[in-house]
Structure 1
Amino acid sequence: MMQLESQSLVQRMPQSTKTAILVIGGAEDKVHGREILHTFFGRAGSLESRIAIIPSASREPAVLGERYRSIFQEMGCVEAKVLDIREREQSSDPEMQDYIKGCTGVFLTGGDQLRLCGLLADTPLMEKLRMRAQTGEITLAGTSAGAAVMGHHMIAGGGSGESPNRSLVDMATGLGIIPEVIVDQHFHNRNRMGRLMSAIAAHPDRLGIGIDEDTCAMFEKDGQLKVMGKGLVTIIDAGEMSYTNQASVGATDPISIYNLRVHLLSHGDRYHFHQRVILPPD
């Protein structure tokens, strides 16, 4: 019996699959080329993929979940199932946990990142999902709010279009899937450079990742980040920061930051997020 179960799990994970974590800035193309969604589909096993869709961040989870389910079914997946989690207790449901154990890809939709963390953080389902994503057993994608939750420190909200200051950003605890990053989404589209810089000034040991709409930062198991899509991925690296007055000024006073390193990456550009260096093009 155990041997049959083991063989079944092997069959569920296509041997050619190269898993990754796709962090999407929101508003990804769902109608025309669907480059980012096709990449997720391919990395999850293509025609052999079994995909879990978690729309819990949305105020209309059933509607949004069904939209993504239809997209992946149209692409030809073996199965796409919406895990419509609206109460924390549902994350302990054995049937949902079994699906996470056996699927090849998980897609976290947009909405409210605080709602998503409130429903999933520190639940049995989330622990299984995080473990499988971090060990490269599944491909995981998150868009908009689903992207914001990737780090240990999470931008929960705030303003835009201002100079960096402490009141510009509200921080919370994310899901810790890629703990060393702080992600901001809809980035240049909503003028959030100051917001992400404010977050990094408070947490200079983390790497700031700002992702534009219809743009994806794809994190590979070997530490590479590759950019795809129409916009930019902005990387803010405070590893060589020599000074900030962040802790000593008022909440609305502008923050000084010395020796901050910023990279703007477009489609096809690569970056090693452990070594914090730009990589040559493929």
Structure 2
Amino acid sequence: MKHFYISLILLLILISGCEPVQQQSEKGALMIIGGGSRPDVIIERILEESDLSDPNAFGLVLTMSGFDPDTSGFYGEKPFRDNGFENMHSFDLGRRDSVTATALDSVRNAAFMYIAGGNQSRFMKRVEEHPEIEEAIFEAYANGAVISGSSAGAAIMSRIMITGDQVKHPEYTSTFYHLEKDNLVTVEGLGLITDVIIDQHFVKRARNNRLLTAIMEYPDHIGIGIDEATAILVKRDTVEVVGLSQVMVYRNTTGTVKIENGKIGTKNIQLDIYLPGEKFNL
């Protein structure tokens, strides 16, 4: 019996030292774009980070966020074509295009994909109806693909997804004018990036109140606000700012929240403002 326990302990030590089947180093990258224009520096970096060594390598645009799939597909593909990469395809899965085995294989095997802007809830509705879409995106990411998205395509990257709606002020405004408890509307996103909440069009639309509310409602999450024509390139735990403007990162360092008359507050929020080329760790 003694020898059995010794063998068991040795086996557990051996297992604990082994790498998991899906190693972190084998994952691809995320290019999360804050909306607005997509300058060449962002498109070029997506192509650079993608494995295009196979002559049959292709890029994929997912248009389920957009109002019109044809328009989203055309403008989603155009910057890549303009930068010399022609092997582009678009899918509007679960809406115009059926979620077939062939379509899902295309998602799994794409060298990179771009999730178009529009309405993030519209995209997630398709995913809720067809969870195999999410599974295929994650498989592509695990196999080394670059997953990118702009505006709505950026919002869906985090598990806690800001919808843009407010409970107490239902008339839509692009800027939040309040810091209130139980006002922010969030639903489940894809969760390609964990323990982070993404907000977009950030400086241009002065969305500080919205992201501050988010990190008070979810104090264990980091809030990352990405301005237009700007992106973050996420490779494992390292984040690099790419593009033309700033990225603002909020951390609720105390994890505490105080509520008074519906207003929400906290102390010692850390704010860092990053410029293109700068890096930080999650």
Q: Same fold (TM over 0.5)?
A: yes
Give aligned-pair identity as a percent. 24
Provide the residue aligned with 1:192 in structure 2. 207
- Pick 1 or 2: higher relative contact order, CA cutoff 8 A, min separation 6: 2
Provide the residue aligned with 2:263 in structure 1. 254
Pick aligned residue for 1:212 from 227, 241, 245: 227
| C-alpha distance in structure 2 between counterparts of 1:34 and 1:73, whole Å | 11
Distance change >3 Å, CA 74–CA 191, structure 1 → 2: closer
Q: What is the SS of the residue equivalent to 1:184? A: strand
> Is contact 2:155–2:198 with CA below 8 Å preserved after alignment?
yes
2:90 corresponds to 1:82:
yes
Q: What is the SS of the residue equivalent to 1:150? A: coil
> Is contact 2:58–2:88 with CA below 8 Å preserved after alignment?
yes
2:249 corresponds to 1:243:
no
Q: How many Å apart are 1:264 and its aligned residue?
A: 0.6
> Is contact 2:110–2:140 with CA below 8 Å preserved after alignment?
no
Unaligned runs of 5+ residues in structure 1 are 1-16, 274-282
2:146 corresponds to 1:132:
no
2:74 corresponds to 1:99:
no
Provide the residue aligned with 2:59 in structure 1. 51
Residue type of the alignment partner of 2:42:
I
Aligned length: 246
Provide the residue aligned with 2:29 in structure 1. 20
2:148 corresponds to 1:148:
no
Q: How many Å apart are 1:174 and its aligned residue?
A: 0.8
RMSD (CA atoms): 2.3
Runs of 4+ in 1 over 3 A off after TM superposition: 45-49
Residue type of the alignment partner of 2:198:
V
| C-alpha distance in structure 2 between counterparts of 1:102 and 1:185, whole Å | 28
Provide the residue aligned with 2:177 in structure 1. 162
Provide the residue aligned with 1:234 in structure 2. 248
Q: How many Å apart are 1:137 and its aligned residue?
A: 1.6
Alignment of 1:168-187 (within 5 A): 168-187=183-202
2:75 corresponds to 1:61:
no
Q: How many Å apart are 1:46 and its aligned residue?
A: 5.0
Provide the residue aligned with 2:7 in structure 1. none
1:59-80 CA distance string (max 9 Å, x none): 0121121222233234333621
| C-alpha distance in structure 2 between counterparts of 1:50 and 1:187, whole Å | 31
Distance change >3 Å, CA 83–CA 254, structure 1 → 2: same
Residue type of the alignment partner of 1:39:
R
Pick aligned residue for 2:123 from 116, 123, 146: 116
Unaligned runs of 5+ residues in structure 2 are 1-25, 166-172
TM-score, normalised relative to structure 2: 0.80
Distance change >3 Å, CA 136–CA 204, structure 1 → 2: farther
Residue type of the alignment partner of 1:42:
E
| C-alpha distance in structure 1 between counterparts of 2:225 and 2:52, whole Å | 28
Q: How many Å apart are 1:39 and its aligned residue?
A: 1.1
